Amino acid sequence: MGGSVRTQTLTALLCLGLCRGPWDQVQARYLPKPSIRADPSPNVTRGTPVTIWCQASLQADVYYLYKERVSEPTSMEISQESSDKASFFLGFMSPHNAGRYQCQYHSRNGWSQRSDLLPLVVTGVYDPPSLSAIPGPVVASGGNVSLSCSSPHPWQTFRLLKEGGADAPRHLELKFPREKRQALFPVGPVSTSHGGTYRCYVSPASYPYVWSLPSDPLHLQVTGAYREPTLSAQPGSLVQSGDNLTLQCHSEAGFDTFALMKDEGLTPLVRLDGQPSPNFPLSLVSITHGGQYRCYGGHNLSSTWSTPSVPLDIFITGLYRKPSLSAQPGPSVSWGENVTLQCRSEIWLDTFYLSKEGSPAPPQHIRLQDTTAPYQVSFNMSPVTSDHEGTYRCFASSSNSPYLLSHPSDPLELLVSGGSEDAPVTPWRGPNRYLYVLIGAAGAFVLLLCLLVVLLVRRRRQGKGRKPAAATIPAPEDEGLRGSSGPAATAAQDENLYAVMKDTQAEEDRQLDSQAVVSEDSQDGTYAQINSLVSEDPQDVTYAQLNCLTLRRVTSGPASSQAEPPAEPSVYASLAIR
């Protein structure tokens, strides 16, 4: 009885829908279309239960579900309490359920438009393909990469899906007119939004919603999103086989995930596996640990990483006989000089390394060009400063295995003397210091020559100025002296003058004042000694004795009254005091 009532109700509703169809089609344009979704996802593995939900913006009485290429509704749901959504359970997913779906609802105000198409895909029907990245899954920001989807069987349709993230394309599809075994999906220029997990599928052209099993996930990681960290080795980059080594990745960017990678030549990086600690212990190192390392910093649950650190070389020592290390011209050098450290090997090895004890810098290395004996290279240091002072060791290796070194040479201590740690390297302490000395000496000689010329010219001018001054000395007004002439008279006058001066020195009423007048020339000067006899009687005659002395580079004090008469001639003049 109950079943009959339900059947009659459904019949009446269907009849109502058919009878009022044209009018409802006119009214449908005024009702908004609903939304449609699949639970758990639109891509459902074969055998998984699936439910489709139809969501209206208004309360509706009846909901209809349509499958593409099927004219009649696939399912109908009657809302008992005029709800705004309805669910359609399709059962366990199979190829029969795959396709595109739409939903529609009806209320007392009329029919709604149909929703957008929902592709419902069933996966796991065929064997999975394989997915790889060319050149590799770790790519720098701005670079290009191609994702290759290949299968042992030919197909016409290849699909690439990205799990999560709305910035990058979530679904890429390649269709070919003829079946192929491989498809390339170019991605680039790569940005941080392209980082994530990808899978690919294959399907036949006749059943586009029946897919294969997914490929293994491929994690595309993008580097260069943040500033690079720094990588260091403790206790150092030179380590003997069997010792412990720890690589430390330092950063100020606040990373909570760190990854360490070893460069394998031309082989691209496969994956950056992060860890929360920045320390990477390499216990009991062996020859396999020798090589070049980089580290990256990132954040949890992210596929983007920083720019790689500067590469750090790790060398394994103790594999060959030790070389010898010497200094030329010697281990003790002066500041600014040149020194050469020679590393020599007794066996054939073509690459040599020089390491300074306690220095964080990587060891210097030189590859030998001439493979004939002797097997040695020279490390030049010029000009030497206090920074070069320290203990050095050298190693040798083969270019075929550059990270496997010999035993270290005996230590060589380089001593630098004659300089200050804080003083810069000046040019006259370098290899051309003798040239700078000669240039300085030549400049000093030219300056001294100019000074001598100036002094000579000045002295000649002073000499010309004294001659007119001597001529202006007035002659004594004594009648006896004035009336004489000729050489005999001149000699007689000199004797009389000298006698008068001696007599006047003995008298107590006469005073003798001596004064030394020094010329302005301090290097080669002329001195005039004036002895004046001053009488208390204003009617007497005052005589002055002028002694001209030429002194060279000797400074003389005031002339003494008891000194012997000079060898130079003296000039006498009588001065009348009125």
| pLDDT greater than 50 at residue 310 | yes
Compute and round to an integer the Cα radius of gyration of the chain: 56
| pLDDT for the residue numbered 170 | 57
How far is it, in rounded angstroms, from Cα 475 to Cα 571? 12
Of the candidates 197, 223, 249, which is a domain's last residue? 223
pLDDT at 19 over 80: no
Instruction: Tell whether 166 and 263 lie within a shared domain.
Output: no
Does 219 score more than 70 pLDDT? Answer: yes
Instruction: Say whether both 288 and 338 belong to one domain.
Output: no
Instruction: Report if residue 375 sits inside a domain.
Output: yes
Residue pointed to by tokens 């006698």: 499
- Alpha carbons within 13 A on the beta-carbon side of 80: 0
CATH number at residue 277: 2.60.40.10
436 vs 51, more confident? 51
Residues 492, 569: one domain?
yes
pLDDT digits (tens, 9 = 90+) for 233-247: 999 999 998 999 999
Strands of 291-298's sheet in order across: 238-240, 312-317, 291-298, 257-262
The pLDDT assigned to 29 comes to 58
Has residue 495 got a pLDDT over 70?
no
- Whether the upstream peptide bond of residue 135 has omega within 30° of 0, thus cis, is yes
Cα–Cα distance measured from residue 393 to residue 440, given in angstroms and rounded to the nearest whole number:
41
* Residue that finishes a domain, picked among 122, 142, 172: 122
Is there a single domain that holds both residue 311 and residue 268? yes
Long-range contacts of 6-13 (CB under 8 A, 24+ apart): 13/62, 13/78
| pLDDT mean across residues, the chain | 77
- Give the tokens for residue 302: 């992210």
Q: Is 507 exposed, middle or buried (0-12, 13-18, 19+ CB in 10 A)?
A: exposed
Query: What angle (nearest 5°) sits at the alpha carbon of residue 205, between those of residues 204 and 208?
Result: 80
Q: How many domains does the chain have?
A: 5
Task: For 58-140, list the strands marked E by DSSP.
Answer: 62-67, 75-78, 85-92, 99-107, 110-111, 118-126, 130-134, 138-140
Q: Are 289 and 319 in contact (CB under 8 A)?
A: no
Task: Encode pLDDT of 405-435 as tens digits.
Answer: 999 999 999 999 886 544 444 444 444 555 6
Residues 111 and 149 in one domain: no
Task: Say which DSSP state 472 is in.
Answer: T
What is the DSSP track for 363-383? Answer: PEEEE-S--SSSEEEEEEE-S
Residue 114 in this model has a pLDDT that exceeds 60: yes
Task: Decide if 445 is inside a domain.
Answer: no
Distance between CA atoms of 567 and 576, rounded to whole angstroms?
28
Task: Tell me the pLDDT tens digit for each residue of 520-554.
Answer: 444 444 444 444 444 444 444 444 444 444 444 44
Residue 323 to residue 74: CA distance in whole angstroms: 87
* Cα distance from N-terminal residue to C-terminal residue, the chain: 176
Indicate the range of 28-32, 155-159, 216-220, 309-313 predicted with least confidence.
Answer: 28-32
| CA nearest to 180, candidates 209, 198, 204 | 204
Residue 28 has pLDDT above 90, yes or no: no
Q: Is residue 338 part of a domain?
A: yes
Measured CA to CA, the distance from residue 237 to residue 289 in angstroms comes to: 11
Q: How confident is the model at residue 466 (pLDDT cuts 50, 70, 90)?
A: low
**Is 86 a member of any domain?**
yes
Q: In this model, does residue 502 exceed pLDDT 70?
A: no
Please, which residues have CB within 8 angstroms of residue 303's CB and are 6 or more apart in sequence?
195, 196, 197, 219, 220, 221, 222
Domain boundary among 107, 122, 137: 122
Q: What is the mean pLDDT of residues 155-163?
A: 91
Task: Give yes or no: residues 148 and 87 share one domain.
Answer: no
Question: Is residue 528 domain-shared with residue 546, that is, in the same domain?
Answer: yes
CA separation for the pair 318, 68 (Å, rounded)? 74
Report how far residue 144's alpha carbon sits from residue 187's, in angstroms, rounded to the nearest whole number: 6
Residues 171-187: what's their mean pLDDT?
A: 86
> CB of 379 within 8 A of CB of 423?
no
CA distance 562 to 540: 25
Question: Looking at the domain assignment, is residue 495 inside a domain?
Answer: yes
96 near 62, Cβ under 8 Å?
no
> What is the pLDDT at residue 90?
92
Residue 199 or 560, more confident: 199
State what percent of residues in the chain have pLDDT above 90.
48
User: In the prediction, which pLDDT does 527 show?
Assistant: 44
Q: Are residues 117 and 20 in the same domain?
A: yes
Question: Of 495, 484, 573, 483, which is closest to residue 528 (Cα–Cα)?
Answer: 573
Mean pLDDT confidence for 504-514: 41
Are 205 and 274 members of one domain?
Answer: no
Of 126 and 107, the structure prediction assigns the larger pLDDT to 126
pLDDT of 499 above 70: no
Does one domain contain both 330 and 392?
A: yes
Give the domain range for residue 392. 324-422
Q: What is the pLDDT of residue 332?
A: 92
Letter string b/e over residues 78-101, b meaning 16 or more CB atoms within 10 A of that residue's CB: ebeeeebbbebebeebbeebbbbb
Within a domain: 471:
no
Tell me if residue 478 falls in helix, strand or coil.
coil
- Residue 245 burial (CB < 10 Å; 0-12/13-18/19+)? buried
Is the pLDDT score of 269 beyond 80?
A: no
Partners of 542 in the beta sheet? 575
Q: Is residue 436 part of a domain?
A: no
User: What residues are paired with 250 via a beta bridge?
Assistant: 230
Give 466 or 37, the one with higher predicted confidence: 37
Give DSSP secondary structure letters for 556-571: --PPPTTSPPPSS-EE
Helix, strand or coil for residue 351? strand
Asked if pLDDT for residue 277 goes beyond 70, the answer is yes
Q: What's the confidence (pLDDT) of residue 171? A: 67
Confidence of residue 315 (pLDDT cuts 50, 70, 90): very high
Are residues 76 and 175 both part of a single domain?
no
Residue 368 is predicted with a pLDDT of 87
Other beta carbons within 10 Å of 179: 14
In a domain, 72, yes or no: yes
CA gap 182, 202 in Å, rounded: 10
How many residues appear in the chain?
578
Give the residues across from 122 on adjacent strands.
44, 210
The pLDDT tens digits for 42-73 are: 999 999 999 999 999 888 889 999 999 887 88
Q: Does 212 share its domain with 258?
A: no
Please check the confidence at residue 297 and state whether its pLDDT lies above 90: yes
Kind and range of the H or E run holding 3: helix 2-19
Kindly report the pTM of this predicted structure.
Answer: 0.59
> SS3 sequence, 410-430?
CCEEEEEECCCCCCCCCHHHC
